[in-house]
Chains A and B, each alone.
Chain A
Amino acid sequence: MDGWVGKILRVNLTKGAVSVEDLDEKTAHDYIGGRGLGIKYLYDEIDPKIDPLSPRNKLIMATGPLTGTGALAGSRYMVVTKAPLTGAIANSNSGGYFGAELKYAGYDMVIFEGKAKEPVYLWIENDNIEIRSAKDLWGKNTHETTSLIQSETDDDAKVACIGPAGENLVKFANIMNDNGRAAGRSGVGAVMGSKNLKAVAVRGTNGVTVADPEGFREAVLDAIKEFHDPFMSEVLAKYGTADVVEFSNEVGLLPTRNFQQGTFEGAAKIGGAVIAEKYNIRGAKKTKACFGCPLACGRVTRVPDGEFKGEGEGPEYETLGSLGAVCGIDNPEPIIKANYICNEMGMDTISAGATIGCAMELFEKGFLPEKDVGTKLNFGNGRAMVELLQKAAHREGFGDVIAEGSYRLAEKYGHPELSMTVKKQEFPNYDPRGGQGFALAYATSNRGACHIRQEVHCVEFFGISLMGIIKTGGSLDRFSTKGKPEVTKQFQDFYCMIDSSGICNFIIIGSPDHNVFINLMEKGTGLNFGGLKGFLKTGERIFNLERLFNIKAGLTSKDDTLPKRMLEEPMPAGPGKGYVVHLDDMLPNYYKTRGWSAKGVPSVKLLADLEIKA
Chain B
Amino acid sequence: MAKALTVNLDKCTGCRSCELACSFKHHREFNPVKSNIHVSIFTENAFYVPVVCFQCDKAFCAEVCPTGAISAGEANGAYVVTVDKGKCVGCKMCTLACPFGVITYQSEGHVQKCDLCGGEPECVTFCVPGALEFKEETAATLKKTRVLAEKIYRQKEVS
B117 contacts A by Cβ under 8 Å? no
B32 within 8 A of A: yes
Q: Does B34 contact A (CB under 8 A)?
A: yes
A287 touches B126 (CB 8 A): no
> A70 vs B24: C-alpha distance in the bound complex, in angstroms?
8
Find out whether the CB atom of A294 lies under 8 angstroms from the CB atom of B129.
Answer: yes
Question: CA separation between A41 and B65, bound complex, in Å?
Answer: 53
Contact residues on B (Cβ < 8 Å of other chain), bracket: 20 to 34
- Closest Cβ of chain B to A521, distance in Å, is 15
Q: Distance in Å from the Cβ of B125 to the closest Cβ of chain A?
A: 8
Is B13 an interface residue when CB atoms closer than 8 A count as contact?
yes
Contacts of A69-103 to chain B: CB distance below 8 A: 69-70, 97
Q: Are B30 and A70 in contact (CB under 8 A)?
A: yes
Contact residues, B76-98 vs A (CB, 8 A):
none
Q: Does A579 belong to the interface (CB within 8 Å)?
A: no
Residues of B within 8 A of A287 (CB): 13, 46
Q: Which of B39-88 contact A (CB under 8 A)?
A: 43-46
Task: Using known A-B contacts A206-B31, A286-B11, determine if residue A294 contacts B24 with beta carbons closer than 8 Å.
Answer: no
* CB within 8 Å for A292 and B20 given contacts A205-B31, A206-B31: yes
Is B21 an interface residue, CB under 8 A from the partner? yes
Cβ < 8 Å to A, chain B residues 1-46: 10-11, 13-17, 20-21, 23-24, 27-34, 43-46
Using Cβ atoms and an 8 Å threshold, which residues of chain A touch B152?
A: none
Which chain B residue shows the least CB distance to A227?
B128
Residues facing B in A283-330 (CB within 8 A) are: 285-294, 296, 300, 311, 313
Q: Which of A68, A209, A294 contacts B128 (CB 8 A)?
A: A294
The residue from A206, A220, A288, A313 contacting B126, defined by CB atoms under 8 A apart = A220
- Known contacts A206-B31, A213-B28: does B126 contact A296 (CB below 8 Å)? no
Query: Considering the complex, which residues of chain A in the window 257-289 have a beta carbon less than 8 Å from any beta carbon of chain B?
Result: 281-282, 285-289
In the bound complex, residues from chain B placing their C-beta under 8 Å from that of A180 are: 43
Contacts of B30 in A (CB 8 A): 68-70, 207-210
**A237-B95 Cα distance, complex, nearest whole Å:** 38
The closest CB in chain A to the CB of B33 belongs to A205
Q: Find residues 120-147 in chain B having any chain A CB closer than 8 Å to their own CB.
A: 125-126, 128-129
Q: Tally A residues with Cβ within 8 Å of B.
A: 36
Inside 8 A of A208's CB, which chain B residues have their CB?
Answer: 29-31
Known: A205-B33, A227-B128, A287-B46. A296 touches B13 (CB 8 A): yes
B11 contacts across to A, CB distance below 8 A:
286
Q: How many A-B contacts are there with CB distance less than 8 Å? A: 81
What are the residues of chain A within 8 A of B32 when measuring CB–CB? 104
Q: Closest chain A residue to B131 by CB distance? A: A286
**A104→B33 CA distance, assembly (Å):** 10
Partner pick for A281 among B21, B23, B29, B45, CB 8 A cutoff: B45
Is A70 in contact with B21, judged by CB distance below 8 angstroms?
yes
Could you say which of B17, B29, B126 contacts A209, with CB atoms under 8 Å apart? B29
CB contacts (< 8 Å) of B44 on chain A: these are 300, 311
Residues of A contacting B20 in the complex (Cβ-Cβ under 8 angstroms): 69-70, 292
Which residue of B13, B21, B23, B24 has the most chain A CB atoms within 10 A of its CB atom? B13
Q: How far is the CA of A282 from the CA of B42 in the complex (A)?
A: 13
Residue contact B43 to A294, C-beta cutoff 8 Å: no
9 cross-chain pairs, A with B, having the tightest CB-CB distances, nearest first: A207-B29, A207-B31, A294-B128, A289-B15, A296-B13, A289-B13, A70-B20, A300-B46, A205-B33
Residue ranges of A at the interface with B (Cβ–Cβ < 8 Å)? 68-70, 97, 104, 178-180, 205-210, 213, 217, 220-221, 224, 227, 281-282, 285-294, 296, 300, 311, 313
Contacts A/B (CB < 8 Å), 7 sampled: A104-B31, A207-B30, A208-B29, A210-B30, A289-B129, A296-B13, A300-B45
Contacts A104-B32, A286-B13 supplied; 17 other A-B pairs, CB < 8 Å: A70-B17, A70-B20, A180-B43, A206-B31, A207-B27, A207-B30, A208-B30, A209-B30, A217-B24, A220-B126, A227-B128, A282-B10, A286-B11, A288-B14, A288-B46, A292-B15, A296-B129
